[in-house]
Structure 1
């Protein structure tokens, strides 16, 4: 396994060879693998990280194609790299495709202005989040190995980057490391009821009642960059499974020796009122690193953060 930063030439050869092998396997098997392993980028920003010698943190934000107004509001608050100078922080919104030509034109114009969108050639849907994640792993492997750490985050979550860069800088030195809200193996039931949102067909994990690997609740996941090329390679050998949290942060890490999980614990809250109370009353002593948001509440949370951290 290759964990160090390699030259662009070596990296290109590595990716070509692995994708070529993947295409040969796909041609001879009916097993489905993630499309994003080899799907083209419809929109790409290949130089986003290489503008810097070192990227302090890369944040991959899962967003739906139609949420362009939400992306605009997020850029007006915390998703703006200028807030975190002199640290080099890079944000990238991850999207699939839309069959709406007008919406696609909006997305193209949005990227022309902000240059922070990565769009893959797969349908943007809830059951395709696994492809979105694999695309992120692939992009980091190809274009952002100079990041000191990588964060995957949903667009309805907020991570206090001021607090992260100041109080959690030790994470940059970790290897084969995943920091998240962990779900221990054999705890979470595999849902077989077809009416359930997380329904899993009987031919997936046949004979299992519970998910057999520790994994992350994927609202926010912080990863050491060294592990990501290995996760991408593992996806080439791992059949597609639509429950993205388990596939990306459970199955794939289980294929890599020595991966360590650390639970986020009290550093996370899903309650808006708890977030505001903690930020306004405890200010810099507020222990929450991750909070749930929407496009209205983020303004209040962001203002409370700025009063303490800016």
Structure 2
């Protein structure tokens, strides 16, 4: 279910005129859940605040990496009972053995959200939007959302200090390692290759690295809602930057 912002029009500044970044309800992602762990959002203590929800993009067969994260920095979540919660975001892969393995893994840890799209690098935008859809639909009471990748170590205590000290700054800000000038990758051998048929500009709009960015739930909801009117782009961090641009949100280096 898409939660829509009513009677609000978005206009993108004309500083990147070659590509049409906005559209009229052109992004109709039929994202559904093959695995959904709504119980991650459960809060048995009424006055307890969930400060951060962490969305971690991972690859289906990277079980050992997920195990490493569970046994290291994700220990802080106390198996999703603390004021910081997390889920792993997966796409689908063919093969009975792998699918069975994911089902068993989820039965044990109950920390996976899996979508109905092929699990591939070029589908990272789908994976991230699945995470935002899940967040807005089931976990909108969290104060902040941190999106990161499976190969990143997150210092949760430092992140908590940051939001406690500057929480008001994030209502209209995406923060982390952000860039204002990034050349478009034209090498066909690169995972990030973008042909001119998709983007004829030499540089991207400003964006924050997909290795990790954080914002308030307020802005995350707006990004998800406006995404229906933002032209799909296969690089998820660039796409989120496009949504932020349409919203007039700020990007800020904070780490």
TM bin (shorter chain): 0.7 to 0.9
Contact 2:121–2:191 under 8 Å retained in 1: no
1 or 2, which has the higher helix percentage?
1
Is residue 240 of structure 1 aligned with residue 232 of structure 2?
Answer: yes
Aligned to 2:247: 256
Aligned to 2:159: 164
After TM superposition, the structure 1 stretch with the greater mean CA deviation from structure 2, 128-137 or 187-196, is 187-196
- Is the alpha carbon distance of 1:243 and 1:150 closer, same or farther for their aligned partners in structure 2, counting shifts above 3 Å? same
Contact 2:2–2:225 under 8 Å retained in 1: no
- Is the alpha carbon distance of 1:210 and 1:109 closer, same or farther for their aligned partners in structure 2, counting shifts above 3 Å? same
Aligned to 2:177: 181
After TM superposition, the structure 1 stretch with the greater mean CA deviation from structure 2, 169-178 or 123-132, is 169-178
1 CA distance for matches of 2:59 and 2:36? 16
Q: What TM-score, normalized to structure 2?
A: 0.83
Is residue 196 of structure 1 aligned with residue 190 of structure 2?
Answer: yes
Size of the aligned set, in residue pairs, is 232
Contact 1:149–1:171 under 8 Å retained in 2: no
- Using CA pairs under 8 Å that are at least 6 residues apart, name the structure with larger relative contact order, 1 or 2: 2
1 CA distance for matches of 2:177 and 2:51? 22
Alignment RMSD: 2.4
Aligned to 1:220: 212
1 CA distance for matches of 2:80 and 2:160? 9
Is residue 134 of structure 1 aligned with residue 129 of structure 2?
Answer: yes
Specify the SS of the correspondent of 1:191. Answer: coil
1 CA distance for matches of 2:72 and 2:219? 30
1 CA distance for matches of 2:228 and 2:171? 22
Report the alpha carbon displacement of residue 84 of structure 1 after superposing the two structures with TM. Answer: 9.6
2 CA distance for matches of 1:226 and 1:181? 20
Report the alpha carbon displacement of residue 164 of structure 1 after superposing the two structures with TM. Answer: 2.0
2 CA distance for matches of 1:74 and 1:195? 30
Contact 1:55–1:147 under 8 Å retained in 2: yes
Contact 2:26–2:229 under 8 Å retained in 1: no
1 CA distance for matches of 2:210 and 2:250? 16
Larger Rg: 1
Alignment partner of 1:125 out of 120, 124, 128 = 120
Unaligned 5+ residue runs, structure 1? 1-11, 18-28, 268-310
- Is the alpha carbon distance of 1:13 and 1:148 closer, same or farther for their aligned partners in structure 2, counting shifts above 3 Å? closer
After TM superposition, the structure 1 stretch with the greater mean CA deviation from structure 2, 235-244 or 159-168, is 159-168
